[in-house]
Structure 1
Amino acid sequence: MKKDHFDVPVDRRETSSMKWERYKDRDILPMWVADTDFTTAPVITEALQARVAHGVFGYTQRPAELNGVMTERLRRLYGWETDEQWFVWLPGLVSGLHLSCRTVASPVTLTPDTIYPPFRSAPTLSGGQHLGIPMVQQQGRWLIDFSALEAAITAQTRLLLFCNPHNPGGTVYRRAELEQLAEICARHDLLICSDEIHCDMILEPGVEHIPLASLGPDIAARTITLMAPSKTFNIAGLGSSVAIIPDQALRNRFRKVRRGIVPDVNLLGYTAALAAYKDGDDWHQQQLKYLRSNRDYLLAEINRIPGLRLAHFDATYLAWIDIRDAELDDPVTFFESAGVGMSPGKDFGDDNFMRLNFGCPRSTLEEAVRRLRQALTD
C-alpha cells in the first residue's frame, strides 16, 4: 500500500452518499456525519468482489468462523475473554441501543447529557423517559459526573446508556473511572448498555480501551456491549455490528425483543466484517497514524482561530470544537456560509460546540481550516 494512500481524494459525489448529498451543488465541505472519506482496506474490497462474483445473493447466515475471529480479537486487543455464544449480530449499532432499551424496559433511562442523539431518543421511543446526567470537563476530558449520576438514580431507574470512547469529545475512560462506574451500577442494580463503537479509534499513544464488561463477572452480567467494524474500517454503509451479552437470561430477552423486528446482517455486511476482523489490522494501523497526524494538525490550527477552542482528545476522528467565544447567533448557517458543513452541537445537547469530522485527506482538512480562519478573521 502506498504511503500516501489516505492523501488521495476520493470523489464521493453521485454515489448516494448521505454525507456528500447534503451539500450537493453547493461549495460546502461535508464534515459532519461519522464516516470517513478513505477507501477501505483492500482485503475488504477483495472479499466483497469475490463474493459478488459468485452471483447468488440468497438468504444468508453468519459465517461459521466469525464468532471465533471475534473472540480471538477481543482477547488479543483487550485481554477480554469472551464466549462465542455471547454474540448477537445486528445490522447496525443504533438498533442495539433501541433493543437494549426495550429489553430492560426501564421507566427512566440515564444517559450522559451531551451524547450521540440516538441515546436520547431510544429511551422515549421505547416507552420510557430519558434523563441526562451532567458531564464534567477535567483537563479537556469529558466525563460523566458520577456524583450527579448516583443522585439521579431512583427506584424507576434500571438502565444506563454509556459511551466509551465518548462521542462527542473523544474521551477514553481510564480503568479507575470504569471501576467507579461499575461499583455504582452494581450497588444500585443498574443494567448498562455500553456503546464502544469507537474502541479501535484510539489516537493518543499510551491510552488503551478497556471494555467495561471486561472488569469482572458482576459488571459483565449486567452489561450489553455494542461494537462494530463500521468506524474502524469505514464500512458503515454495509450494516454490521454486534451486541456482546454474557448473561444468558439478558441475552435471551434481547433476542426475544429483536425477533421479527430487527433483521439479520446482510450477506455483504457479514463478508466485510469477517475480512476486516481477520485481515484488516495493518490497514487500520496506517489509518490511525494518518488520523493522529490530522488530529494534531487540527489541535494546533483551530486554537489559532479567533473564537474557536479545541481541547486535546484521546480518540475518534470527530473534533468537538468550542465556539462560545465566537458569539454566533446561528452557528450552522455561519459555518455553512463559510463553506464548512459540521454537525451542530445542539444535536448532541450542547449548542456551544460544533463537531467536525477530520476523517479526510489532509488537503481537505487544510481547506476547511482556511475557510474557518477566513470566516472568523474577516
Structure 2
Amino acid sequence: MQKPFNFESFPDRRVTESLKWRVYAEEVLPMWVADMDFLSPPEVIEALRARVEHGIYGYGIEPPSLKQAITAWLERRYQWRVSEEEILFVPSVVSGFNLVALALRAPGSGLLIQTPVYPPFLNVARQAGMKDQRLPLSRDAMGRYYVDGDCFRAALTPETRMFLLCNPHNPVGRVFTREELWTMAEACLERDVVICSDEIHCDLTYSGHVHIPIATLDEAISRKTVTLMSPSKTFNVAGLKFAFAIVPDPTLRKTLKQLVHDLGGGMNIMGIVAAEAAYTRGAGWLQHLLKVLESNRNFVYDFVRNELPGVEMQLPEATYLAWLDCRRLDLQPSPYEFFLTEARVALNNGRDFGTEGRGFVRLNFGCPRSTLEQGLMRMKRALEESRVIS
C-alpha cells in the first residue's frame, strides 16, 4: 500500500548547502528561488539511495532506458511522439538555451525575448555575441499578459535568428494558448527564425489549462524548434543538474551535441538516476503535488486580494510562482527591499526580470501551507506597521 506523500513538512534545509535557505540571515523566510520545500518523490529518493550504495560514481553514458522513459512521458502527457535520436542530454535548461544561441549566432544576428522574463534570458544574446532584441509582453486592462500578434511580428527583424520562448511563462504564470503559439510560430517560420522553447514548467499546469509544446503544432514548426525540458521543477531535483533538448533538425542537433561535449561537461549520473525514476514511477506523486500547489495558489490569490490592498496578482495558470504587482503602493526603495527589511521575507526582485518588472516581486508558493501563511502574514504586518495599508 502506498504511504501518503508528505507535503506538510520538510527537514531543516539550513544545515545543507541550499541556495534558497543559506543566502539570507536565519530570521529571513526565503520565498524566492524556484525550488520547492517538499521532499522529492519517494521513488526518486529510493533510486538515488540504491545508486549511492553502489559506491562508485564514475563517468556515465546515455542509458537507452532513460530516453525510452522520456519519450513515453511526452506521449502520455502531451500526445507528442518524439524519436529517441532527437533527444540530447544537457546539464540544465539554462546551459541548453545558451548553447543553442552559440550554435545559431552569426555576424549581426539577433535574438528575441519577451519581457518580463526569467533573468538568465536577459544575458543570452550578450554572451553569444548576438543583438539583444526585446519585446514587452502585452497586458490587458485587467493586468493579464498576452501575446499581441502584430507587436510580435513587428519585433522580428531581418537580423533575428533566434526566438527564445518561455512557456509556461516565468514569472507571469501564463500557459500560452494554441492561438498565441500559432501566432508566434508562423511569424518565426515566415522569417526563418529558429524557436528555442524553455518548457521547464510544462508539467506544472492547473485546472482549465493545458500545456502545448510549440513543436507539436506542425511538422514545419517542429523542424525549426529546439524544446528544452527537465524533471528539475516538476520533481524538485534541480540540484542534480539534468535536462534534455528535443532537436528534430539533424544538422542543428549535431552542432549542439558537439557544443555540449566541448562546453557543457559530462552528465550528472545522479541526475540521470533521478530523472529515470521520476519519469517512470513519479506520476502518482506529481498528481498529489499539483493538488497541493493549486490549493496554495488559490490561497495566495485570495490573501492578496483580501488582505493586501494595493497589491495586484493574476492567477497563475502554471508554475508555483506568484507575480505580485506592488506599484500602486510605491514601496521604497523597492518592494523587494521593503519586504526583506520590514517583513523579513525574501522574494525575487521584479527588476531582475527586465525593465517591465520594476515594482513587482515574485513569490514562491511551493511550500507547506504553514510556511506560506507565515510569509504572507509577515508581509501584511509589515505593510500595516509602515502605514502603507490599514
CA contact (8 A) 2:99 2:259 kept: yes
Encode CA deviations 1:48-73: one digit per residue, 9 max, x unaligned.
00011111111111222111111111
Q: 1:140 Cα shift?
A: 4.8
Partner residue, 1:347: 352
TM-score after normalising by structure 2 = 0.94
CA distance in 1: counterparts of 2:218 and 2:67, whole angstroms = 21
Q: 1:364 Cα shift?
A: 0.5
Partner residue, 1:7: 8
Partner residue, 1:89: 89
Which has the higher mean CA deviation after the structures are superposed, 67-76 or 31-40? 67-76
Partner residue, 1:115: 117
1:184 aligned to 2:191? no
Q: 1:23 Cα shift?
A: 1.2
1:37 aligned to 2:42? no
Aligned AA (1:28):
V
Instruction: Provide the secondary structure at the position in 1 that maps to 2:245.
Output: strand
Encode CA deviations 1:293-314: one digit per residue, 9 max, x unaligned.
0000000001121221111120
CA contact (8 A) 1:229 1:276 kept: yes
Aligned AA (2:326):
I
Aligned AA (1:340):
V
CA distance in 1: counterparts of 2:3 and 2:68, whole angstroms = 31
Encode CA deviations 1:259-314: one digit per residue, 9 max, x unaligned.
32111221101000000000001001111100000000000001121221111120
1:374 aligned to 2:375? no
Of residues 265, 285, 288, the one that matches 1:286 is: 288
- Give identity over the alignment, percent: 43
| Aligned positions, number | 376
Superposition pairs of residues 93-242 of structure 1, within 5 angstroms:
93-105=93-105, 107-138=109-140, 140-203=143-206, 205-242=207-244
Aligned AA (1:173):
F
Partner residue, 1:256: 258
Encode CA deviations 1:112-170: one digit per residue, 9 max, x unaligned.
02101111101111111211112112455422333222112222111100010000111
Which has the higher mean CA deviation after the structures are superposed, 62-71 or 242-251? 62-71
CA distance in 2: counterparts of 1:374 and 1:76, whole angstroms = 46
Partner residue, 2:52: 52
CA contact (8 A) 1:88 1:244 kept: yes
Partner residue, 1:270: 272
CA contact (8 A) 2:336 2:350 kept: no
Superposition pairs of residues 293-312 of structure 1, within 5 angstroms:
293-304=295-306, 305-312=308-315
Partner residue, 2:371: 364
- Give RMSD over aligned pairs: 1.3
CA distance in 1: counterparts of 2:4 and 2:314, whole angstroms = 29
Q: 1:246 to 1:4 in 2, by over 3 A?
A: closer
CA contact (8 A) 2:347 2:362 kept: yes
Aligned AA (1:309):
E
Q: 1:4 Cα shift?
A: 6.7
Partner residue, 1:18: 19
Q: 1:122 to 1:216 in 2, by over 3 A?
A: same
Partner residue, 1:80: 80
Q: 1:3 Cα shift?
A: 4.8
Encode CA deviations 1:156-190: one digit per residue, 9 max, x unaligned.
11110001000011100111111111111111111
Q: 1:243 Cα shift?
A: 0.5
CA contact (8 A) 2:321 2:362 kept: yes
CA distance in 2: counterparts of 1:287 and 1:157, whole angstroms = 39
CA contact (8 A) 2:229 2:245 kept: yes
CA distance in 1: counterparts of 2:204 and 2:143, whole angstroms = 18
CA distance in 2: counterparts of 1:65 and 1:184, whole angstroms = 37
Encode CA deviations 1:197-250: one digit per residue, 9 max, x unaligned.
0000002x1211110001111000000000000000000000000010011111
Q: 1:2 Cα shift?
A: 5.5
CA contact (8 A) 1:141 1:313 kept: no
Aligned AA (1:148):
C
CA distance in 1: counterparts of 2:168 and 2:41, whole angstroms = 23
CA distance in 2: counterparts of 1:143 and 1:238, whole angstroms = 33
Unaligned 5+ residue runs, structure 2?
Answer: 386-390
Aligned AA (1:78):
Y
Partner residue, 2:388: none
Instruction: Provide the secondary structure at the position in 1 that maps to 2:171.
Output: coil
Aligned AA (2:31):
M
Q: 1:78 Cα shift?
A: 0.4
